[in-house]
């Protein structure tokens, strides 16, 4: 089974991502909002789905400051991932995994309310196979055709983009990635 090799790959790419984190963050801080604005994702009022940065992951919060699109954060609750709106300055609460997330009072966003998903990744290959942390939350969410229809880009250092990663049957490819060189869409 392919899953058996993933723990070693995760260790390797976690190390590599950490080594390139500063360079990636500098590029994101100076260019991410411009790259995304040029994409003109979705319709006015649609949210951009971000992720709360965990250890070693890029921090998109400041980089998206000038972008006009409303933001959303993922929330793990009742054994499933969902997105909630994230208005500027809103106090966050821990979700079921202990990650800061918008409170339940804001309600759940439906797929049509999101224009773009930005996902964390340890590595991605040139076919869109994403190596994540191993929880499977994004793959389960994106197994739903309505969520799969939303463009999804991983955000990671260029050093973590490889020709090929092993894929399990449940892995849902992403539509591209963002690295130090900008946005890279798959055909």
Q: What's the confidence (pLDDT) of residue 118?
A: 97
Q: Is the dihedral of CA 45, 33, 77, 103 positive or negative?
A: negative
Whether pLDDT at 76 is above 60: yes
Q: What is the CATH number of the domain that holds 44?
A: 3.40.50.10420
| Interval 176-182 mean pLDDT | 95
Whether pLDDT at 1 is above 60: no
Which domain range does residue 7 map to? 2-185
The tally of domains found in the chain comes to: 1
Q: Tell me: the pLDDT tens digits for 83-130?
A: 999 998 899 999 999 999 999 999 999 999 999 999 999 999 999 999
Instruction: Take residue 34 and report the two structure tokens written for it.
Output: 């411009």
Q: Tell me: the pLDDT tens digits for 21-34?
A: 999 999 999 988 88
φ and ψ at residue 122, rounded to 5 degrees? -85, -35
Whether pLDDT at 75 is above 70: yes
Residue 17 · residue 122 · CB < 8 Å: yes
Closest by alpha carbon to 121, among 157, 166, 83? 157
Q: What's the confidence (pLDDT) of residue 67?
A: 73
Q: What's the confidence (pLDDT) of residue 45?
A: 80
Please provide the average confidence, as pLDDT, over all residues in the chain.
Answer: 92
Q: What's the confidence (pLDDT) of residue 13?
A: 97
Residue 162's alpha-carbon distances to 1, 15, 78, 127, 142, in angstroms, are: 21, 15, 34, 9, 22
Residue 28's alpha-carbon distances to 22, 34, 179, 180, in angstroms, are: 10, 10, 8, 7
């Amino acid at each position: 089974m392919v899953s058996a090799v993933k723990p070693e790959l995760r260790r390797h790419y976690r190390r590599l991502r950490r080594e390139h984190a500063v360079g990636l963050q500098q590029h994101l801080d100076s260019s991410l909002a411009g790259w995304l604005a040029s994409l003109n994702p979705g319709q006015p009022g649609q949210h951009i789905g971000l992720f709360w940065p965990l250890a070693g992951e890029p921090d998109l919060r400041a980089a998206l400051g000038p972008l006009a699109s409303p933001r959303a954060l993922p929330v793990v609750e009742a054994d499933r991932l969902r997105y909630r709106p994230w208005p500027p300055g809103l106090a966050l609460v821990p979700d079921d995994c202990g990650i800061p997330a918008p409170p339940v009072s804001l309600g759940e966003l439906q797929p049509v309310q999101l224009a773009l998903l930005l996902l964390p990744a340890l590595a991605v290959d040139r076919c869109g196979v994403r190596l994540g942390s191993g929880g499977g939350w994004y793959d389960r969410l994106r197994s739903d055709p309505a969520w799969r229809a939303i463009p999804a880009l991983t955000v990671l250092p260029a050093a973590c983009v490889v020709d090929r990663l092993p894929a399990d049957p449940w892995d849902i490819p992403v539509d591209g990635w963002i690295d130090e060189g900008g946005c890279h869409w798959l055909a």
